[in-house]
Amino acid sequence: MEDLTDPKVLEKLADEHGTPLFIIDMEKIRQNYYLFERLFPRVQVYYAVKSNSDPGIVKTLFNLGSRFDVASLAEFNLVYEHIKDYTLEEQKAYIWDKIIYANTIKRVDTLHILNKYEPLVTYDNAEELKKIKAHCPDAGVVLRVKVPDTGSMVPLSSKFGAHPGEAVDLILAAAELGLTVEGLSFHVGSQCVNNENFVQALQICHELFEEADSRGIDSLRLLDIGGGFPVEYTPEVHPIEQLAEIINSELDRLFPAETAIIAEPGRFISATAGIVVTKILGKAVREGKTCYYLDDGIYHTFSGVIFDHQNYVLKSIKQGEPKICAVFGPTCDSLDTISLAENLPEELELEDYLYAENIGSYSHASSTWFNGFPPATVLRVNE
């Protein structure tokens, strides 16, 4: 088994496979999946494919029995690839039970394709309900509710979620169209470091369950508590065990045992499984600061600096006294700036390697071919 904590192992892999190299530790994927299952015994894992859609991760989690949260037809097809040889009835049973299409806004052509499988899909507005009724009438629907997301690294409530005050009316609107609302969902925002967001969200959903029941709606049997489970990128992030204790207590207090509880962890499963190794292409001194230019950058594996509001710690395989340096990607765009204040040795030379850990989520998945530079090569280890 490859020990990816050893810089010499990373150097060896980069020498063998070239750079930029995006390494996925499949053993870490398995460990994180099992840890989530252990910490949240009432909760069924639906891996958020968008966090890292590498087919090897999907295959590994499929074999472990994970379920999946997909947000596009392409993501759906990554999972479907593993059930394509099932009969249609077997496919329908799998898709209903193990996939949730959790994007509240869906393309019409996607709904047409999905309808024969009678999928489970989310919505958060009346127009989407009409679209689902017209193009995917055999779907079961889940209402996504707006909840607090204060303190989350990537807030989501400004874009998604029905206001709690209109939630039950939207459930009734679905019933009037002949659609069955199976339950409620929420998302407290990605990398949620404010445990109170989960507490408030669970209380809101409990109250909506009760209001729906008082208005004659007895179909709600599912609660999707979304994602947001934090990764300990820094020591300040509270341990997941602390959050698990709070969530488990609230679930037992507010929701009966027969309520199906699902979650959509993505970052939690894939973030710590990714390492990128990159090579120094250029070096300059500007206004007294050493500047390194790498063969990976913001348009590639380090896209999370922009899209995920994440700062990755770059480390050097070659040792030396650290100084404040600037680090840039390879493209001809000034936006392609990884860091203006990175602690790295000034003595590094062209062709030397740098690496960043905990970069498995919302990184390589957003890579482009800007300026013609290809994304990093993906290497799966410890399969």
184 and 253 in one domain?
A: yes
36's tokens: 């989530």
- Gap between the Cα atoms of 112 and 368, Å rounded: 29
- Gap between the Cα atoms of 77 and 270, Å rounded: 19
Q: How many domains does the chain have?
A: 2
Q: Which residues face 289 on adjacent strands?
A: 286
340 and 218 in one domain?
A: no
Q: Is residue 302 part of a domain?
A: yes
Residues with Cβ within 8 Å of 184's Cβ and at least 6 positions away in sequence, in order, are 142, 143, 144, 145, 167, 205, 208, 209, 220, 222, 223, 224
- Gap between the Cα atoms of 32 and 302, Å rounded: 22
pLDDT, residue 152, reads 74
230 and 278 in one domain?
A: no
Q: Is residue 102 part of a domain?
A: yes
CB contact at 8 A, 331 and 371: yes
Q: Which of 270, 302, 331 is the last residue of a domain?
A: 270
305 and 292 in one domain?
A: yes
355 and 234 in one domain?
A: no
Domain containing residue 220: CATH number: 3.20.20.10
214 and 98 in one domain?
A: yes
pLDDT, residue 361, reads 95
Per-residue pLDDT in tens (0 to 9) along the chain, 383 residues: 888 889 999 999 999 999 999 999 999 999 999 999 999 999 999 999 999 999 999 999 999 999 999 999 999 999 999 999 999 999 999 999 999 999 999 999 999 999 999 999 999 999 999 999 999 999 999 999 999 877 676 666 767 899 999 999 999 999 999 999 999 999 998 887 788 999 999 999 999 999 999 999 999 999 999 999 999 888 778 889 999 999 999 999 999 999 999 999 999 999 999 999 999 999 999 999 999 999 999 999 999 999 888 899 999 999 999 999 999 999 999 999 999 999 999 999 999 999 999 999 999 999 999 999 999 999 999 99
Q: Is residue 168 part of a domain?
A: yes
Assign residue 243 a region (left: φ > 0; alpha: ψ between -120 and 50; beta: otherwise). Answer: alpha
Q: Is residue 1 part of a domain?
A: no
Number of CB atoms found within 10 A of residue 300's CB: 28
256 and 177 in one domain?
A: yes
The position carrying tokens 């999707």 is: 224
Q: Is residue 166 part of a domain?
A: yes
User: Any idea what the Cα angle at residue 224 is, between residues 218 and 229, rounded to 5°?
Assistant: 155
pLDDT, residue 156, reads 67
Q: In angstroms, what CA-CA distances link 184 with 122, 206, 223?
A: 9, 10, 5
pLDDT, residue 154, reads 67
Q: Is residue 132 part of a domain?
A: yes
277 and 236 in one domain?
A: no
75 and 11 in one domain?
A: no
pLDDT tens figures, 180-189: 999 999 999 8
The residue range of the domain holding 302 is 7-22+272-381
Q: Which of 242, 270, 298 is the last residue of a domain?
A: 270
Q: Is residue 138 part of a domain?
A: yes
Domain containing residue 358: CATH number: 2.40.37.10
Q: Which of 270, 287, 304 is the last residue of a domain?
A: 270
**Residue 160: closest CA among 194, 200, 199, 189:** 189
Q: Is 205 a catalytic residue?
A: no
- Gap between the Cα atoms of 280 and 171, Å rounded: 55
Q: Is residue 2 part of a domain?
A: no
192, 205, 325, 332: which is the annotated catalytic residue? 332
332 and 240 in one domain?
A: no
298 and 264 in one domain?
A: no
- Gap between the Cα atoms of 348 and 352, Å rounded: 6
109 and 181 in one domain?
A: yes
